[in-house]
Each structure stands twice: as C-alpha cells, then as structure tokens.
A and B are shown apart, each in its own frame.
Chain A
C-alpha cells in the first residue's frame, strides 16, 4: 500500500520529529510513504481568519501537489478537517476544482484514523511506559469526528497507564490566529488546560494536533511542570 504524506506547515517548521515518527510508523506497517514535493500549508490559517481568497490559493496549490488516488495521510486533525470539509466548499462554484477537491476530501485521513481504520494498528502491542493523559483537539473530534481512534491506540501502548483528563474536550486556547489576536485569553485557556493535565498526575500529555500540544507544552513549562507533551505518533513510534 502507498500513501501520500501531508506533513503540514506546523510540523515542517517546528516539529519535524512528528513527521519522522509518522513515516516510521507507516513504514513499520509496510506502507510505502510518498512525500509529494512542493507541499506547503492547507490554508487553514487564512480560511479561519476570513481570507477566503488566500485560503483558496493555498488549497489550489495543495490540489496540484496531491494528485492521484493514494490516501493522503496527515498527523494533524485540523488540517485533515480543512481538506475534508472546507476544500469542497471553497471550490463549490468551480467545476474543475470542485471535482479535485471532492476527491481529495474523500482520500484524506488523519493519522490515527488511518492507523486504526485501515492498518488496524490497535490490534498490535506497542511498548508503553508511564502515565499518559490525552487532550482531545477540537477540530480532530468535532469537525473530523475522530474520537475513539486515539484512545484505542493509547490502549495499545502496553505498560503505560491511561489517565483521563478532566474536560479533555475543552479548547486549549490555540485557535490559530486567535492565539495572536487575543493572547491573554489564549494564555488563560492554556493555563487552565495545563492545570487539568497536572491534576491527572500523568507524566506525558498526548494528542493529535501539534499546535494544541505546542500551546499546552508552553503552559506546562510556565507552570514549572515536568510533564512532557508528545504527539501520539511519537509515543507509538517510540514503542515499536
């Protein structure tokens, strides 16, 4: 099986190790990973801030880079949701691109979705350790509807203990441009989230979106906490 990997701009610049863990995992399951050259960003920052034209430009570029029929896999729930839900809407009135957008929407998968749904990775055991808690990212759960998959994968980390977080579905305060425009509220929300993480007594907080984990990691650091924030693919790759 072959997939196209969408690395996302966030991971490209800040968390290349998350991209590498994704590749490692997919290859472990015998999947051939193709990294389409010239990929940039899905356009979500522009879309959410109301810059439809700029979002359309990014989306048009994405569609020109991710061609063919292979599944598109990405370690980001919000980027997958962008392609799945907003691309078809962005090109509603453009017959040629509407068809391309619909095809991309149908073959885009968030990594945990792909690992569980297609590769049945939850049936394998990974070596886990410590106490792990999970932050349920808004776009991953609400927009993409991915709720169970990450939990199944955490359960596959044998030896690790899962401790549910209070209010796991409450927003971490990142919100893309929100973080820059209303930093005081963003920080307050991240601090509240960090407190929830600390209250679990976990040593690691995991999730499916690097942007959320970045926000949480920063708040934890400011709280003087030693709890680590790691993308779920990192925990799985470490436990292979």
Chain B
C-alpha cells in the first residue's frame, strides 16, 4: 500500500459524499454521458459478445502463463533497447524509478496518466527526492493542482465541475476566472507545453505491453502521452505485470473494446506503440527507455480464486454504470481504484484485514458485469470476497449473529415461524433500534403470514 492511502471505511466516506450535492450532480452527469456514449459506440460492433469472449480468452491466456509472458516481454523489450526492471512491491518500484531519475540528475519530469503509479505512490516518493513531477493529463493536472487523488480511473477529475476548475485555475495559475472549458484547456496546454520542452525525463504508464514485440501501447486523447514518451531523452514506463497481451495481432480486439468501453469512442485520438529506444536515423523517441514491471501482489493474486480480476483492462465502464459509484464517487472507496473493479482489486492488493468494509459497497445489481469488456464476473468475485471476510472472522459482529440465527431458522420451519411471530410482536422495538433508514423503511409485518393463509 502507498502512504497516500485514505480510509477504506467505505460507509464513513460515503456519507460525506452523499451530502455533497454538487459532487453528486457532477458524477451523475459524467457517468450518464459516458454510459450513453458507450451504448451508442457499441452499436457499430456487430458481434459484441463474440468480441468480449475473445478478449476474455486472450486475457486468461496471459494469466494462465503470467511468469512466462513477463519473461518473454522483458526479453523482447530489452532486445529493442529498453532496460527492463522488475519490482516486487510498491517500495521497490518507487526506488527503481527514483534512482533512475536521480542517477540522471533529473529535477523535473513530465508525467502521463498511470494508475499503477498512483497505486505505488510514485509522485509522493519522487517529490521527497526533490524531483518535481508534472501531471500532463488534463484531469490529472487538475487534481494535482488541488492536491487530490483521482476519483475515476479514466476521468480522474470526474468529481469536479467546470466552475470548480475555473476557480482552481484562477487561484493557482493566476489567470482570470472563466468556466469556458476551451479557455481552461488552453491555459493548461500553455503551462504544459513549457514543461514538455523543459523536462529531461518523461514518465508514463501503459495500457498494454505486447509480449512478442516488446512494445508498449498507450491510448490517449490529449496527445500528452506521445509527448512524455518521445520528447524527453529519457522515458521511464511504469506498468503492472498483468497488462501483457501475447501478440501484436491481439491488439485490434482491444482497440475495438477499450475506447468504446471507456469513453464511448470508436478509437482514442492517439494510439501509441513504443518499441524500444530511438534508432539511428529516427527523429523521435526517447534515447533511453526504462520499463519498470510492477508485481506488487499480482503473482499471488493470479494463483487465488479471484484471479479473473487481473483480466481488467482499466476501462472504467463498471464505475460509470455502478449505482453505488454514481452516488458516492471514487474518493469514498479510499484508495487508487474505485467502483466495482476497485472494490475487488483494492481488497486483493491491500489485504482483507485492511479493506473488509469495502466489500459491502455493492448491491450486487450486476450492471458492472453487463458492461465489462473482458467479462470479469465482478458480482461473483464480490461474493467470494465476502465469503473470505466471513472465513477470516472480519465480518460485522451483528451481521454474524443475525446470519447464524437466520441459518438456523431457515432450516427449521418451526423456528422460522416463531421468529416471524416474535418480530411481529417486537416490531415497535425493532423499528426503534433498527433506525429510520433501515427498519423505518420496512412495512408493518402482516398480521397473518402467507403460510398460515394457505391450506
């Protein structure tokens, strides 16, 4: 876990989010937009189910042979001139990136969007080493200025409306207040252009890594991904090991699925493939490329019963449709990854003992399963994690007692009948103890239950 982790006590976090009307409006608006665009974008894909099946199979193939694919990728990337590093955990990943940058005397780096860098707390680490890190994805830049963490994996500043961004820019950048998104974007672009030109190092993530060519793949819409990976002489790419695809020919499947699932685009403005360092006679590309492959728990997750979570391609479709996410936003989840995928991944990465309240954050409605492009059985995984929580003795005490009683009663009709009778008698008390928002929402139990009305 990174040091920047917030509280994983979901309920406490969510209560504050629900009270924030402007947050809820911004979330609903953005999530609805992406959800609608996604539906429209898939209209032009004839056999979506077959495509999802194929994508799922490719991802499973990687997970079934993860160490082998990591080795293949590493060897091929090295052949193309990259220096490949392996980091077992967050700390070692930060140390590796830190020592590459300090070794080159870097004082400022331009950075593209990367969720794994958030996961390992990279910015914080580099800042402690005296390196200025400038986020160049507009959303990431906004939250960096605000001193926040992303609240969505694709749209990091989804929780902010343009008024708030306008105010932030006028305060931090000293520009006149405006809520015109185009003017705000221009302002950010001006600031970043100087950073791109001045930065001697670029840091990026990667959406995929291709094993058979050793290439990195980046999907971006702002062009900043290209800039940070090709303009500065030094490029450091940080990615988690499960992001590998076996072959370059597997990529088209994901080109069709990822942008559609994420933003409802048929393709992002830029899809960059980076294979090794700048070769003789080439005009662009980093002269030195370091690839940091982050394990940070993946090797053990892939052996467990929730391994399918690692199929995730980080499109964020599950959060856009999740009724819970739409209501509370990403910060309520307390760590890097929010929404349905986040509940599962966070619990797997940080351990049940740290994140057990989080696995309640789903009504199990299954909207996430409907949209997942690689068919992660999220509802099933959430139930598995709840089972694990019970096994680990970390479930809520009242819930545990209630379920024991329920289990006993459900297996014994007489006991079940008495239970019903008792709750009818004690209803006024139950209503009081259960509180307005729980028992207060239940109707009066019927005077004569249905089973007594039947012959």
Q: Write the residues of chain A forming the contact surface with B, with a CB cutoff of 8 angstroms.
A: 5, 7, 9, 11-16, 19-20, 23, 35, 37-41, 43, 45-55, 57-58, 60-61, 138-139, 142-143, 169-171, 173-190, 192, 214-215, 217-218
Contact = CB atoms under 8 A, between A and B. Distances in A.
Which of B361, B410, B443: most chain A Cβ within 10 A? B410
A178 B363 contact: yes
Contacts, number: 183
A57 B411 CA distance: 6
Contacts of B399: 49, 177, 181
B449 interface: yes
A214 B403 contact: no
Contacts of A20: 450, 453
- 7 interchain residue pairs of minimum CB distance: A50-B386, A54-B407, A175-B363, A58-B410, A183-B437, A171-B365, A16-B450
Given A13-B449, A58-B411, A185-B328, A46 B323 contact: no
Given A179-B441, A182-B14, A60 B369 contact: no
Nearest to A47: B383
A182 B408 CA distance: 25
Contacts of B449: 12-13, 16
B396 interface: yes
Interface of B: 10-11, 14-15, 18, 24, 323-324, 327-328, 359-367, 369-370, 383, 385-390, 395-396, 399, 403-404, 406-413, 416, 420, 423-424, 434-435, 437-438, 441-443, 445-446, 448-451, 453-455
Contact of B451 (A39, A43, A45, A49): A39
B413 A38 contact: yes
B403 A49 contact: yes
A23 B423 CA distance: 26
A43 B363 CA distance: 16
A60 B446 contact: no
A184 B437 contact: yes
Contacts of A12: 420, 449-451
B442 A182 contact: no
15 contacts: A7-B451, A7-B454, A12-B451, A14-B442, A40-B410, A49-B390, A58-B410, A58-B411, A60-B411, A61-B410, A142-B367, A143-B366, A183-B438, A185-B18, A214-B442
A50 B15 CA distance: 24
Contacts of A182: 10-11, 14, 324, 360-361
Nearest to B366: A142
A40 B409 contact: yes
A90 to B, nearest CB: 11
A13 B410 contact: no
B294 to A, nearest CB: 30
A54 B406 contact: yes
Nearest to A138: B365
Given A50-B386, A181-B360, A218 B441 contact: yes
B304 to A, nearest CB: 16
A162 B208 CA distance: 47
Nearest to B324: A185
B327 A188 contact: yes
Contacts of B406: 41, 45-46, 54, 58
B11 A52 contact: no
A199 to B, nearest CB: 14
Contacts of B11: 181-182, 184
